[in-house]
Amino acid sequence: MQNGIYSYCIIKTSEHQEFGAIGIGDAVASNVQTIGFKDIAAVISHSPQVVYDSLSKEKVIKDLFTHERVIEKIMGHFTTVPVKFGTMVETEDRVIEFLENGYTLLRNELDKVEGKIEQDVVATWEQPAVLAILARQNEQLREMQQKIASAGEQASIEDKVLLGQLIDQALKTEKNKYQQLILQDLKQESVDICPHDMISDDMIFNAAFLLEKKNQEAFDNAIHSLDQKLENTVYFREVGPLPPYSFSTILFKRIDPEEVEEAKNTLGLTGEITEEALRDAYYQLAKKYHPDKTSGDTSQEFQVIQNAHRTLRNFIEGGLIHTKVYRWKEDVQWDS
């Protein structure tokens, strides 16, 4: 299998670095080293060139573990910004192109996270235990439970529905109260907060915190204090220190020239593309094909137009070599 250049992270260094045989490989681990440009470098290895969408789940998990292990080892010695898992290019020259093209952005991201770490905090509760406490505190909820229990099989559908609504509202209110308490206590020790999805009914809080390394002990103490304050009600799990995965992950993409031509054809553009021409062409087609403005189903056409606009916007910003920063989605609701 042909080797490509696998990228793990970007670090601050003006000197070549060797990290040993700790990288992604088939039978044996690959050597991890740097490819530099000015005072930044990509941490890379020569690894089998693969498309991760086509690999087995076991292989993907194994390589993801190696990817994270390499980054977390290096972050102990260098300011580090992760590169998205699975990022591969054909040659070392291509890596240098990405570094050169995205130098200002990459340097800014390294400055933002210098001296900082990510700590992930998850809080869970046991719903039956919490519900028992709420029933003692909430008179309306307690009376409805007693009414239905007394009626037995004769309990009305309306009362059962009402009880379900009362339970949902009580749990939602209590969850929000705990979320605000946790946020209030932990944000004092952090620089930034990134909420993550709740992945189970028992999970009431899931977020990443960006903090100064020097504040890690104070942050841990705040978690311990919360744990004691909410003893027997909420259970905490803390993961870290981590690289700033949730706050700054680098994406490298080389745009195929054929994609650019196809996008231009989609938007009816020719010759050199300017921001103004792109904006006007997109606006005209969006008015025509936006699903909210037509009677027929134009969602597929509108998606093609959006993709073409995105491709050309990236091309205008960075040419065929595109470097950008991914940050975790910010639309998670704390009280969901």
- pLDDT tens per residue across span 206-225: 999 999 999 999 999 999 99
- Is 251 domain-assigned? no
Res. 331 pLDDT band, cuts 50 70 90: very low
* 86 shares a domain with 180: no
Residue 328 resides in a domain: no
Of the candidates 242, 265, 283, which is a domain's last residue?
A: 242
Q: Is residue 155 located within the same domain as residue 92?
A: no
Instruction: Band the pLDDT of 336: cuts 50, 70, 90.
Output: very low
Mean pLDDT of the chain: 84
Q: Do 68 and 171 reside in the same domain of the chain?
A: no
Q: Look at residue 305 and tell me if it is in a domain.
A: yes
**318: which 2 tokens?**
């960075």
Residue type at position 204: I
CA distance 117 to 125: 27
Q: Is residue 209 part of a domain?
A: yes
Claim to verify: residue 234 and residue 143 sit in the same structural domain: yes
How many domains does the structure of the chain reveal?
Answer: 3
35 in a domain, yes or no?
A: yes
Name the burial class of residue 272, with classes exposed (0-12), middle (13-18) and buried (19+) by CB atoms within 10 angstroms of its CB. exposed
Tell me which of 229 and 38 has the higher pLDDT.
38
pLDDT band at 135 (very low <50, low <70, confident <90, very high): low
Q: Domain range for residue 91?
A: 3-114
How would you class 70 by CB atoms within 10 Å of its CB: exposed for 0-12, middle for 13-18, buried for 19 or more? Answer: buried
Q: Are residues 92 and 128 in the same domain?
A: no
What's the gap between Cα 179 and its chain centre? 20
